[in-house]
Amino acid sequence: MRFDMVLLPTYVAGVDPPFPVYYEQALEQVELAEELGFSCFWFTEHHFIPYGGPIPNPSVFIAAAAARTSRIRLGCSVSVLPLHHPLHAAEDYAMADALSHGRLEFGMGVGNNRSEYEQLGVAPDEGRSRFAEAQAIILGAWSQERFSYEGQFWRCEDVALYPRPAQTPHPPIWIAGSSEATFSLAGRRGFNIMTVAHPREPEAVRPGVAAWRAGLAEAGLEPASRHCLIHLRGFVDENAQRAARVAESAITCYEQLSAHGLGRAPSTQAYDWAGMLATGRNVYGDPDGMIEAMRQTTRHFDFDTFGMGFNFGGIPHTDVVKAMRLFAREVMPAFA
Would you state the pLDDT for residue 238? 98
**CA 148 – CA 146 distance, rounded (Å):** 7
| Whether residue 45 has pLDDT greater than 90 | yes
Separation CA 123–CA 82 (nearest Å) = 9
User: Can you tell me the distance from the alpha carbon of 298 to that of 228, in angstroms, rounded to the nearest whole number?
Assistant: 12
What pLDDT is stored for residue 316 in this prediction? 98
Q: What separation in angstroms does the CA of 5 have from each of 44, 130, 182, 327?
A: 11, 29, 24, 12
Type and span of the H or E element at 26: helix 19-36
**How confident is the model over 47-84, as pLDDT tens digits?**
999 999 999 999 999 999 999 999 999 999 999 999 99
- Select the more confidently predicted residue: 336 or 20: 20
What local confidence, expressed as pLDDT, does residue 267 receive? Answer: 77
pLDDT digits (tens, 9 = 90+) for 140-192: 999 999 999 999 999 999 999 999 999 999 999 999 999 999 999 999 999 99
Q: What is the structure's pLDDT at 336?
A: 86
Question: Is it the case that residue 266 has pLDDT exceeding 80?
Answer: no
Taking 80 as the threshold, does the pLDDT of residue 268 lie above it? no
Question: What's the whole-number average pLDDT of the chain?
Answer: 96
Per-residue model confidence as pLDDT tens digits over 178-231: 999 999 999 999 999 999 999 999 999 999 999 999 999 999 999 899 999 999
Residue 287 clears pLDDT 90, i.e. is over it: yes
Instruction: Name which of 175, 161, 187 is nearest 75 in CA terms.
Output: 175
Sign of CA dihedral 113, 115, 119, 123: positive
Helix, strand, coil content of the chain in percent (nearest 5): 50, 20, 35
* 121 burial via Cβ count (<10 Å: 0-12, 13-18, 19+): exposed
Q: pLDDT-derived band of residue 265, with 50, 70 and 90 as boundaries? A: confident
Q: If we measure between CA atoms, which residue out of 172, 244, 182, 246 comes closest to residue 209?
A: 182
Whose CA is closest to 205, among 193, 215, 216? 193
Q: What is the pLDDT of residue 263?
A: 86
Q: Which domains does the chain have, with CATH numbers?
A: 2-335 (3.20.20.30)
Beta strands in the chain (DSSP E): 2-7, 40-43, 73-80, 104-109, 147-150, 155-159, 173-176, 192-196, 228-236, 282-285, 305-309
Q: Which of 314, 262, 315, 311 is nearest to 49 (CA)?
A: 262
